[in-house]
Each structure stands twice: as C-alpha cells, then as structure tokens.
Structure 1
Amino acid sequence: MHGRDRMRLPVVELSAATALFSVASTACFPDVEPNVFSLPRCDRVEPRCGPDGDESCCADAVVLGGTFNRVNDPQFPATVADFRLDRFEVTVGRFRQFVAGYPQNKPQKDHGSHPRLAGSGWDPGWDDHLPRDRAELEASLGCDPNFRTWTDGPGPNEELPINCVSWYVAFAFCAWDEARLPTKAEWNYAAAHGNEQRTYPWGEATPTPDLAAYGCDTTNMGCLIPRVGSRSPAGDGESGHADLAGSMSEWLLDYHGTHPTPCNDCANLSDKDEDNGREARGGDFAHSTEGLATTFELGFTPESREAFLGFRCAREK
C-alpha cells in the first residue's frame, strides 16, 4: 500500500499530553552523570520523555550488529554493523531546534551519509524538495488540521512525535543532527532483535494497547496521539528503543521495494520506482495491528506529509 492509499484523518482536537524521557548529554540533564555519547543538538531540549516524563528526548541506545534475515525471510540474509539508534521518535521539542535555524541549516552535498554506503548522502538535486524558508517549513507541518503535532510555540505537545514531515525534511533534520536516517536493514535488525527474528519488537505476544499505540478510532473525538515512550518499557525492543511498533510510521533511507542481496550494511538506493517511493516502517497510531509486525513494509512518495509519518535518526557507535 502506498501513501496515497492510506486513510485521511478526520478533525479532532489534540489535548495536552503528559510525561517524557532520560539522559543523553550534560546539557540536557546537568544533574545526572552524562552518557558517554552526547547528541550535538540537545542543549535546549527538556528531559520530558519516557513513561515517567524524566528522560532525555535525545537519548539513544547502541544496537550491537550481527547477521539476520530481513523480514524474517531466509531469502534475504543481511549483516549489520554496530550502530546507535534514537531511543525515541524525534519529538516536537527536539524538532523545534531545527526549525529555529532553518533554512541556514539545510544539508550540503553528501551530508547525512551512511559511512559504509557510497552515494547515500544528501543530493543537491533534492534541494527543491525542501521548504524555501522557515515560514514555509512551519506551514508544511500543518498537514492535518487536527492531528498535526507541531505548534507555533512551545507547549504541551513538546513530548509528542513530530509528524507531517516529508522524507526530505526527515533526512535534513538527521543530517543537521550529525546523524542519518537508518537503513531498512538496520531498522529491521533493531526491531526484530537480530537473529531472534521477533514478530514484534517486544517479542511474540499479540499486540495490545499497553504495548503499542495503534488502531486509534479517529471518529472518536477523544482520539489522541500519545507522547513518545508512553508504552515503555513493555513495548520496547530488546535494546531499549520505544515505539518501534505503533505511534508513527518511520521514514528510512531506502527506496521501498527490493531487498539488495547480498547485504552487508546495504540499502536500496537505486530502485527509483516512483510508484514505490521511500520506505517507512513500524505501523502507526491510526491503523491496525497489521503494520506493527517487524515484517510489514510500506512505501510512500518522499514528498508525503501525513499525520502518521515521523522518524528517528541513526549514527555510528
């Protein structure tokens, strides 16, 4: 199913959300011993994420690499090196720092590249797909009048996942954050916990609302997008990543479609069938349990901006 086939969401008011997450740098949470790895753009992001609202929204966790079968299919073996992956989907509060510096922080040629994948960085030919200035960027974040999470100023949505972002904007944010979009193989490896080949990030248990945010009845005026990490730790992957299933479908580096074989830190960077678009994984708050499985794949045109599309970033260990 492509982005144009997905449901449109009806009008509903977003209400104030609660709690958030834990430490990734001294600037984020100065009273706690800092993580040995500090994200570069976290100095003004409050530590309000996670189940208790006291974790850094910029925290990440190491994924130890190995070999596994993509989409749990022995036809598609892959080897992935160690990498770091954001614990949470990028939040409104974290994205606000990027908006404040836009457009001066647009990516330059080859920024946001995967170090083991030639040609994976920013292509200047994509420049025209980015908003021209800050006003246009902010306007683009209002793709849905009721389920957009962006607000013009800081408020109760800071701990919600940013949505309504195109693949190009997600790429640009990660490049600005001295990171990159994860590959399809990396995301799948983290969600399936490598060669455990999990059906869901938490294991084999049937999805429930305690494990993931999905199946929101958008005809119900009380339907809300939850804060990031609201199902943590029960719904986390083995390496501690929250919302790999549910919340937002997450943009990935690859074109949707084929699985390159052999695969040693591979990505589909050449299958440019515009009908397939770019990959997004993990299901979302508005759709059924089908999308929550680690084997479920979707493609969206990279210009797509939907209330159920978000992202998280990856970087080197």
Structure 2
Amino acid sequence: MTQAQISRPKIKLWMAAIKPPMYSVAIMPIWVGTAVAFAQTKVFNVAVFSTFVAAAILILAWENISNDVFDSETGIDQNKHHSLVNLTGNKPLMFWLGNLCLIGGLLGILAIAIWQQDPTVIGLILLCCGLGYLYQGPPFRLGYQGLGEIICFFAFGPLAVAAAYYSQTQNWSMTSLAASLIVGIATSLILFCSHFHQVKDDIAAGKRSPIVRLGTAKGSQLLNWFTGSIYPLTLLFVLWGIFPVWTLLSWLSLPYAFKLCRHVQQNHHQPDKVSNCKFIAVKVHFWSCLLFGLGFMF
C-alpha cells in the first residue's frame, strides 16, 4: 500500500472535521441582512460586509471547534472519528485554537463598531456567541436538552440578520426581521438533520435531541413540514408586500428540498445511509438563502 493510499482516508477525516461546506451557515445571514439593507437604502458598504463575513467565519470556527472539545467530555464523540479532538489527541490545543478564532472574530466585529462609533453590532454578536455557548458549553449544554434548533434559529436568524442589516444602515427594519425567519428556519434545518444518524450515541450520552425524543420516523415526517415551510412563508411575505417578488427566486432551490425530504423519508432508520442528509440540508440552506438575497438585490 502506497503512502497516498494510507493518507487518503486521513485527509477525508480532516475534511469532515473542518466541514468547509458548513461555513455557508456563517455567511448567509450576513448576505441576507446586507441584501435587505441594499434594497432599502441602495448603499452597500463592501468593507463592512467583507469584515463581517470574515469575522462570522472565525466565530463559527470557534463554535465548531469548541463543540468537539465539549463533546469529548461527555463521551458522545467516542465513535466520531472526524472529531478534531479525536484526530489530534490534544484537547487543550483545540480549546485554545477555538478561543483564538473567537477572539479574532470578535475583533473584526469590534472594528465595525469602532468605525461606526456604535456598539450595537458587537452587542448583538456577543449575544449570538452567548447563545452558542449555552448550546454546547458546560454547565448548560442546552443542546443536550433538545433546545439546539431553537437556539440556532435565533442566533443565525433574527440576531445575525439584524446585526448584518444594522452594520450597513445603523437602523432597524421589519423587512429584515421577516427575512431572518427564512434564514433561521433554513439554518436550524441543518442541525435537525445532523441528529438522524447518531441516535444511539446521543441516547448513550444522555442527549435528548429532537430525533431521540420523536424517533426517526416521526422526525422524518416533521422534516417535510420544516423544510417545506420556507417556500410558502416567502410567498406569503411577497403577497403582503414585505418581500419583493424577486425573492421567489429562492424557489429554485426546491429540487434540493425535495431530495432532502425523500432521502430522509427512505433512510431515516439507516444511520449509514442517512448520515449525509445534513449536507443536502446545507445545499438547501445555501441555495435558498443565496437566491433569496439576490431577490432583494434585484
């Protein structure tokens, strides 16, 4: 066996641990909040947007790294070969690397607040970080009580979108609040899908995720409603005159939504086959939010 053959599985584990596609979760709330601001003001501050995106990516990196660190303390990741702690065997290193990412991200948001001489944005993002810690950090670990999706909805929906909108306008908007509902649901969808394949590990670690509470069959049925709600809700806000008609471009992501629901419906009880459903959910999130934001830009 060649060195390349030996290293290939290791590379796949590292890519699974780093989760590059997941970072769209950090970018899309900033994109949508900025797009709503542009639609209403016709102003697009590129420097603020770029700084915010970079900071959001670093903050999400902190959340992903620290999640592996905190999960290593409960034993829930003992079968998760792509955990950063399991890959490196060095929990303190990962803990401090995560904290460095958090500090770097907050410094970026602080820079925006200083430019604008307004602490509102840093306050909103600190609240998001606080929710992120409540989700995963001891002694709270609210994700273990099945509250992760609710926390995710508010952190990546209303709070993050409002912060992005405010960073561009230094003002508030009911339209951005309505848009944040779409982003929040689409983001929570990813977390919801991540539970289907790890029910046994969650039960063993005492984690009462929604799928543990409902069972995979009921969870797959709820997923249909959960995913489908994004599209009629967008249409409803268009009919009310809150969203421009161009936001219906987000409906072009429907093929991914159908694929996700069909895949989970067929394989919800087979962990090996359903484990990739969160990546289909990432595609639903990415394309629906990207096209949704473009609708405001147009």
Q: TM-score, normalised by structure 2?
A: 0.29
Structure with the largest fraction of helix = 2
